[in-house]
Amino acid sequence: MKKIVLREDEMPTRWYNVVPDIPNGLLPPLDPETLQPIGPEKLATVFPMSLLEQEMSQERFIDIPQEVLEVYKIWRPSPLVRATKLEEALGTKAKIFFKNESVSPVGSHKPNSAVAQAYYNKREGVKRLTTETGAGQWGSALSLATSKFGMECKVYMVRVSYDQKPYRKFIMQAYGGEVVASPSMDTKTGREILTSDPDTPGSLGMAISEALEDASSRSDTNYALGSVLNHVVLHQSIVGLEAKRQMEIAGEFPDVVIGCCGGGSNFAGLVAPFVPDYLEGKKIEFHGYEPASCPSMTGGKLAYDSGDVAMMTPLLYMYTLGHNFVPPGIHAGGLRYHGMAPIVSALVREGIVIPKAVHQLECFEAGILFARTEGIIPAPESNHAIRGAIIEAMKDPNEPKTILFNLSGTGVIDMPSYDNYLTGKLSDYAYPQEQIEAALARLPKIG
């Protein structure tokens, strides 16, 4: 068998919530004004109650609504694949498996949460969602999701991506999403930024601020976030739940589980369902691969910090480079975030997740090898996971270990980055630690 494919009726019907299983638990999000734990009533202006309940939930399993399962079936269950040709090319005795989340209609794992978020908002009477997007993976996932539930969607897309990476903008529009370059004239925040700096390339932080302002100002509108938060990790757990069942069918249990880490959602989604096995004493490692150019776990510190530049979000207890950190523009879009999901951060704190940093050239090299052996061009983000799998397989090529990684997305909508790599336009860049320390020194002092 090359692939293990589950039938639709074998798809998990409950998400797994890892929060109650994290030793020493999570610290609560704080109100940025009072620095006290934030209550759901304050967040309810931009989030539906059902998602806030999931955000705070201590239940281990939460039913997936039938309406969400129906949309998942457009592409789920996703295949688990044995990368036999990659193994042969490496000359390793390791078995390398990957969970193929690139098969969704927008080419990434992002719809796993987008569909759930759109559903719960719709059920609570919300007609319109706003969000921010960088390269466009999350924006296209949310546009797909809102189209399935007859909702409107407005995406604030970082201007430099809006201008230079039009394909995902067009994908959002094909699904009926409204896309504007951020900063835009549509919000007070955007107008102020444009007044002082008309030629700004924009940033994710600015786009978050605009999307939040829009959602706060309209009663029919909520806001949706594609990573970092607990309910996003919950929804992504379907990745690991399926993979675990598929590994069982293959007669395997992974020695190492690997994913790339930006905000942490695809990594946590794959890893979380295996955490109880770890806690029961099973021999299993979890490796989170982040770019050396944006090393929140390996270069940052665990602290309360804001999710956006304007400090409109609650303060989250997470590994962070400081919310003013601006990673170099040329590196993998989806991994350019200053913070790490509180769930992943807590797993790192407890020594359960081992963080690793890799450089982009070695990641693209791994991606090209993967394309020419396994036939699939990976997303630049996913190349970090592939690099990790190769490192693990080659530590001792004679050791017959079992490796599982998450192929979080396809590269075919991101081909200019491969062209930049193949034509020698990319270089490695490790963020200077002193600059990181300086950014961290500006964090709010809490406790």
Residues forming contacts to a second copy in the complex (CB under 8 A) are: 1-3, 5, 7-9, 70-71, 73-74, 81, 85, 103, 105-107, 144, 147-148, 166-167, 170-171, 173-176, 368, 371-372, 374-377, 410-413, 415-416, 418-419, 422
Nearest Cα residue to 431 out of 336, 308, 314: 336
Please say which residue, 76 or 356, places its beta carbon nearer to a second copy. Answer: 76
Please say which residue, 209 or 406, places its beta carbon nearer to a second copy. Answer: 406
Task: Please give the full DSSP string across 359-398, using - where no structure is assigned.
Answer: -HHHHHHHHHHHHHHHS-PBPTTHHHHHHHHHHHHHHSTT
Please say which residue, 261 or 377, places its beta carbon nearer to a second copy. Answer: 377
Please say which residue, 134 or 177, places its beta carbon nearer to a second copy. Answer: 177
Which secondary-structure segment (H or E) carries 264? none
Per the DSSP assignment, residues forming a β-bridge with 13 are: none
Please say which residue, 167 or 253, places its beta carbon nearer to a second copy. Answer: 167
- CB of 421: closest distance to a second copy in angstroms? 9
Please say which residue, 147 or 200, places its beta carbon nearer to a second copy. Answer: 147
- CB of 174: closest distance to a second copy in angstroms? 5
Nearest Cα residue to 17 out of 63, 50, 49, 48: 63
Please say which residue, 185 or 415, places its beta carbon nearer to a second copy. Answer: 415
Please say which residue, 105 or 125, places its beta carbon nearer to a second copy. Answer: 105
- CB of 147: closest distance to a second copy in angstroms? 5
In this structure, the number of other CB atoms found within 10 A of the CB of residue 52 comes to 18
- CB of 381: closest distance to a second copy in angstroms? 16
**CA dist 28 → 148, 189, 208, 309, 330 (Å):** 33, 28, 21, 20, 34
Q: Which residues does 177 contact at the CB level (< 8 Å), separation at least 6?
A: 139, 140, 142, 143, 146, 147, 153, 154, 155
Task: Tell the burial category of 250 from Cβ atoms under 10 Å away from its Cβ (0-12, 13-18, 19+).
Answer: middle
Nearest Cα residue to 154 out of 253, 223, 63, 76: 223
Omega of the bond leading into 77 within 30 degrees of 0 (cis): yes
Per the DSSP assignment, residues forming a β-bridge with 421 are: none
- CB of 326: closest distance to a second copy in angstroms? 27
- CB of 75: closest distance to a second copy in angstroms? 8
- CB of 123: closest distance to a second copy in angstroms? 18
User: Treating both helix axes as pointing N-terminal to C-terminal, what angle do 111-123 and 230-249 enclose, rounded to 10 degrees?
Assistant: 130
- CB of 407: closest distance to a second copy in angstroms? 11
Q: Find where tokens 């999570």 sit.
A: 26
What spatial distance separates the first Cα and last Cα of the chain, rounded to whole Å? 54
Please say which residue, 56 or 371, places its beta carbon nearer to a second copy. Answer: 371
Please say which residue, 311 or 368, places its beta carbon nearer to a second copy. Answer: 368
- CB of 435: closest distance to a second copy in angstroms? 33
Backbone angles phi, psi at 318, to 5 degrees: -155, 160
Distance CA 389, CA 358 (A): 12
Please say which residue, 73 or 395, places its beta carbon nearer to a second copy. Answer: 73
- CB of 73: closest distance to a second copy in angstroms? 4
- CB of 415: closest distance to a second copy in angstroms? 4
- CB of 282: closest distance to a second copy in angstroms? 29
Q: Find where tokens 């693209």 sit.
A: 364
Ramachandran region, residue 94 (left: φ > 0; alpha: ψ -120 to 50; beta: rest): beta
Task: Please give the full DSSP string across 188-231, using - where no structure is assigned.
Answer: HHHHHHHHH-TT----HHHHHHHHHHHHHH-TTEEE---SSSHH
Please say which residue, 148 or 287, places its beta carbon nearer to a second copy. Answer: 148
